[in-house]
Amino acid sequence: MAYTMTPTPAGPVGSQYCVCKVELSICGQNLLDRDVTSKSDPFCVLFMEVNGKWVELDRTETAVNNLNPAFAKKFIIDYHFEEVQKLKFALFDQDKSSTQLYEHDFLGEFSCTLGTIVSSKKITRTLLLGNGKPAGKGMITIAAQELSDNRVITLSMAGRKLDKKDLFGKSDPFLEFHKPGDDGKWMLVHRTEVIKYTLDPVWKPFTVPLVSLCDGDMEKLIKVVCYDYDSDGGHDFIGEFQTSVARLCEAQEASPLELECINPKKQKKKKNYKNSGIIIVKSCKITRDFSFLDYILGGCQLMFTVGIDFTASNGNPQEPSSLHYINPLGTNEYLSAIWAVGQIIQDYDSDKMFPALGFGAQLPPDWKVSHEFAINFNPRNPFCSGVEGIVQAYSACLPHIRFYGPTNFSPIINHVARFAAQATQQETASQYFILLIITDGVISDMDETRHAVVQASKLPMSIIIVGVGNADFAAMEFLDGDSRVLHSYTGEEAVRDIVQFVPFRNFRNVPKETLAKAVLAELPQQVVQYFKHQNLPPINSEPA
């Protein structure tokens, strides 16, 4: 999706991307003993950083006389992939019934991002005192679990000998599925398509979330109603029955489940009434519809690579007019883009070692043009330690290269694609590659780049392009296949849209977090789409 926005976004940006809720379980080990006559009575307080301040979200219960508590109360948080969600877990020894924290003895704290927790699923860390020193031998263990029922049910239904409702023809039957609402009334969940002119319909298979159909409770009664369609909306009632998902699951392709469709009024009137037809459950399957967080909690690592444009059109980095000029605040648009994306992605890579590549520059000692060079000048080990390492390598390389051209994207795309192709040999959902290209202008090798993107669309890989400066970025919009499918020069279509283009100029006057939300908005669905297409479940997934 080519994501553009007004300089002052209306309302909280990012809330529409909330993936789901995460449940955090907390345990403490070897906590400080603050009580003289007995052991500490610890409780844990969760804070989140909001606009630079720590805001309390929730507290656990108090574990009486226990230095190794496992708290029963869980913390539940909305998870936003495209935001840095900073959390602090602080433990206190309850001394009074006061809700004021300063009334209780401090046992230590630990801070991290929610991304760090979910990417590891479970972490154990040292508790620190206010001066940054360890709180004795005190440790905290935090475990994350996604709070969602991701099961879906796929039903294949048919009918036999349904009652004839039309004077001059047969019926036009359709089914409705209802579940009991909180108010005790039946609530419509799903309606099938209408099958015209038949008493023996076969409906198309359909899939609905199990939570929608029965609130995830396989034993809960659901009602299935059969109607004869009328174009004026006055559909004629054929019959109904009540059942449960557990009962529907008895249907096998070899032995379908048959359920009588009953019209209660006819049943009362006619002594020899049997039914108003049979509804056949041809098959019923429950599977898991895995989310992005399922893959992350399952151990999938996001492998981050940066590609930086060092072509001459950027201007001399010594001069303030250059896009590579590092201003007195120590930043420029290239660095802003690296920070915005990198600070979020780095939580999802366990070793936090990121290749950083440059293109379009002449390199010492022979001053040949390169479109794929390590900005730390170590081709055998182009990795930088964390986002800070990328920033340091970028700043250090600027004085040693000559900006040149042309602006070729395909070598760097193909470079990352080679590693993504190697990862597919594992046939597990263990790695997904993200290439961030930051550029100031028009692509010189458009045909080769289109071809490279089409080939990469078959791999566990996404490409984010951030356009800096004020150039015409029409070609970038073309690569971002939101409005049309991207084709290679050979005519081959991209299997899926893997390019996200964002012009930096749209984000100059908004909080830096807004850029990250725009740039990373589509990434979770691209990760899920790829692994589903390959029929790869999360590594540590449970059967439905």
* Contacts (Cβ under 8 Å, ≥6 apart) of 445: 406, 407, 408, 409, 410
pLDDT of residue 483: 67
Asked if 272 and 133 touch (Cβ cutoff 8 Å), the reply is no
What per-residue confidence (pLDDT) applies to 353?
Answer: 96
Return mean pLDDT, the chain. 90
Q: What local confidence, expressed as pLDDT, does residue 6 receive?
A: 27
Q: Give the tens place of pLDDT for each residue, 254-297.
A: 899 999 999 999 999 988 999 999 999 999 999 988 999 999 99
d(CA 505, CA 156): 51
Does residue 510 have a pLDDT over 90? no
pLDDT exceeds cutoff 60 at 447: yes
Tell the CATH topology of 150-286. Answer: Immunoglobulin-like (2.60.40)
pLDDT band at 4 (very low <50, low <70, confident <90, very high): very low
Percentage of residues of the chain with pLDDT beyond 90: 78
Burial classification of residue 129, based on how many CB atoms lie within 10 Å of its CB (0-12 exposed, 13-18 middle, 19 or more buried): middle
Q: How open is the CA angle 108-110-114, to the nearest 5 degrees?
A: 155
Among the ranges given (176-185, 220-229, 390-399), the one the predictor scored with the smallest mean pLDDT:
176-185
- Indicate whether 5 pLDDT > 50: no
Rounded to two decimals, the pTM is: 0.80
Q: If pLDDT is split at 50, 70 and 90, which confidence band does 166 have?
A: low
Q: What is the pLDDT of residue 482?
A: 66
- Who contacts 258 (Cβ-Cβ below 8 Å, separation ≥6)? 278, 279, 280, 281
Whether 17-145 and 312-532 share one fold: the answer is no
Map residue 170 onto helix, strand or coil. Answer: coil
Beta bridge partners of 308: 358, 438
The domain covering 17-145 belongs, at the CATH homologous superfamily level, to C2 domain (2.60.40.150)
Alpha-carbon gap, residue 22 to 535, rounded angstroms: 25
484 Cβ neighbours under 8 A, 6+ residues apart: none
How many CB atoms within 10 Å of residue 463? 28
- In CATH, the number for domain 312-532 is 3.40.50
**pLDDT single digits (tens) 91-102:** 999 988 888 898
In tens, the pLDDT along 525-540 reads 999 999 999 999 999 7
pLDDT at 8: 29
Percent pLDDT > 70 in the chain is 95
DSSP 509: T
What is d(CA 215, CA 217) in angstroms, rounded to the nearest whole number? Answer: 5
Give the per-residue pLDDT at 476.
Answer: 81
d(CA 245, CA 217): 8
Residue 18 has pLDDT above 50, yes or no: no
Tell me the per-residue pLDDT of 207-263, one tens digit each, with 9 for 90 and over: 999 988 998 999 999 999 999 998 878 899 999 999 999 999 999 878 999 999 999
The stretch 398-403 carries a mean pLDDT of: 96
Provide the residue ranges of all domains of the chain, joining segments of one domain with +: 17-145, 150-286, 312-532
pLDDT at 2 over 50: no
